[in-house]
Structure 1
Amino acid sequence: MSSLTNAMLKAERHSFILHQLNIYNRILSSDLSQKLNVSEDTIRRDLNELADNGQLIKVHGGALSRSYGHIATRSEVYATNQKDIIAQKTLSLIREGMFLLLGGGTTVRSLVRMIPSHLRLTIFTISPVIALELIENPNLEVYLLGGRVTAENQICSGGEVIHRLSEIRVDLLILGTTGIDAVQGLTESDMEVVQVKKAMMKSADQVAILTISEKLGTSHRMKLCDLGSIQTLITELEPQDASLQMYAKAGLTLL
């Protein structure tokens, strides 16, 4: 195989890796190895090169999108227009005096930046990044449910967080998801994330899932829940869109 062909193949891998990061924010080397049918050593070299070029953040077992951190600019976040549409729709669920529980991620971050300054809310979150955004609003009472924080997940996890979640009750849980499928339900790529999100769902009267449409029909290694465990699905699409009808048939309210 010529060096030119090798370079083309590497460029295609890099493009695929960056696109996966844009969609999911975090990717595992083992998953990339399977999807691209190359060795994990090859993937590690690819990730190291992309990290050296400032295109991603290398972490143990994989990589993070540069948009995932608290210092990310709007221009670094993938699908900002779609996420703004989702955030605007989600605002229709929020009422004065509500108790909310928020996950992390760039779509939820878009939402918290849009919360009107006059609304008085009590908000719990497992995300230090989201908590930092929320405290800019003086009418919000903000609680960070602390625990172990890793670069890979950038949320608080572990037994302490799960215990604290068992002691609260909120009107609405607002979560992003790694994967959602009409048959498989909601899935994640990390077991610690699954355990924390399950505890969050037990603490909420209603659950709303926020996701860009590119995640529809995707599934990952760890099962979070069936669609019956959530009430509302919010995407940038119109509720009548054909790609959403299987979710409507499952009984979800679509926004």
Structure 2
Amino acid sequence: MLKEERQNHIIKQINLHNKVLSSDLSIQLNVSEDTIRRDLNELAEAGKILKVHGGALSKSFQYPFQENNTYAKDSKKEISRKTLNLVQNDMVLLVSGGTTMIELARMFPDNLSCTIFTISPLVALELAEKQKVNVILLGGQLSKSAHINTGSLTISQLADIKVDLCIQGANSISIDDGLTDSDWEVVQAKKAMLRSAQKTAIVCIAEKLNSAQKLKVCDLNALDYLITDLNPTDRLLARYTEKIKVI
């Protein structure tokens, strides 16, 4: 594989999953970690990614957010529009973090009244602009890569609430592996969110379907809704509709 092809693959993986590890890229591309580190350095110097210890982050996670840095922005807006159809007045919601959740917060109607718990300071700031939304930010240790609060304090607070609907972003999702992620602390927070909700909706751009990370959050049958940018009748979603309601 040529260097340009390798670096294009790296950029796509970073944009899809927000964070990648050098060790994982080395295995995927069958090259040394030194080669991956050189690629990441070049891409960071070119302003295409954000290099961090052990890997890299998408520029979508650079704060303050720039509109043109959000990967698949139109798809995430379509997902947000669909997700809002599940929200009714006076509901209690629990929302995770990520760029799709930020788009959802921005699109939240001004006339919709509800209470929203979130583990994302950035989502909380976006929702704070909505006059009829009561926003409760759950505390904890801030993950510098995921920009959400994690750890024992977050999980303890989540255990004390019961919400009508939990809305989570997906790092990876597949029929066989279910919902997966690459960060242990993020996985524990997501599991605690599932336990706090009567129903859970997973939002996911189509490019993340049929992908898997090393750490499992849950099986598909533990979820209630899968919301993507595709039409629910799309062939790519056929097997998912057998296990979960697809919107």
What is the TM-score of this pair, normalised by structure 1? 0.94
The equivalent residue for 1:31 is 24
Say if 2:175 and 2:210, in contact at 8 Å, map to a contact too: yes
The code of the aligned residue for 1:254 comes to V
* 1:35 alignment partner, SS class: helix
- Once residues 194 and 127 of structure 2 are traced to their aligned partners in structure 1, the CA distance between those partners, rounded to angstroms, is 21
* 1:224 counterpart = 2:239: no
* 1:146 counterpart = 2:139: yes
* 1:123 counterpart = 2:128: no
The equivalent residue for 1:79 is 72
Say if 2:97 and 2:146, in contact at 8 Å, map to a contact too: no
Offset, 1:52 = 1.6
Indicate which of 105, 113, 116 corresponds to 2:98: 105
The equivalent residue for 2:150 is 157
Say if 1:179 and 1:217, in contact at 8 Å, map to a contact too: yes
Aligned-pair Cα RMSD in Å: 1.1
- Once residues 235 and 153 of structure 1 are traced to their aligned partners in structure 2, the CA distance between those partners, rounded to angstroms, is 21
The equivalent residue for 1:61 is 54
Indicate which of 155, 173, 178 corresponds to 2:166: 173
* 2:180 alignment partner, SS class: strand
Offset, 1:150 = 2.8
- Once residues 182 and 135 of structure 1 are traced to their aligned partners in structure 2, the CA distance between those partners, rounded to angstroms, is 36
The equivalent residue for 1:192 is 185
Say if 1:60 and 1:152, in contact at 8 Å, map to a contact too: no
Count of equivalent residues: 247
Offset, 1:139 = 1.3
The equivalent residue for 2:88 is 95
The equivalent residue for 1:3 is none
What is the TM-score of this pair, normalised by structure 2? 0.97
Say if 1:70 and 1:129, in contact at 8 Å, map to a contact too: no
Say if 1:59 and 1:151, in contact at 8 Å, map to a contact too: no
Offset, 1:153 = 2.1
The code of the aligned residue for 1:12 comes to E
The code of the aligned residue for 1:253 comes to K
Runs of 4+ in 1 over 3 A off after TM superposition: none
Work out the percentage of aligned pairs sharing the same amino acid: 49
Greater radius of gyration (CA): 1
Say if 2:98 and 2:146, in contact at 8 Å, map to a contact too: no
Provide structure 2 residue ranges, at least 5 long, that are not aligned to the other structure: none
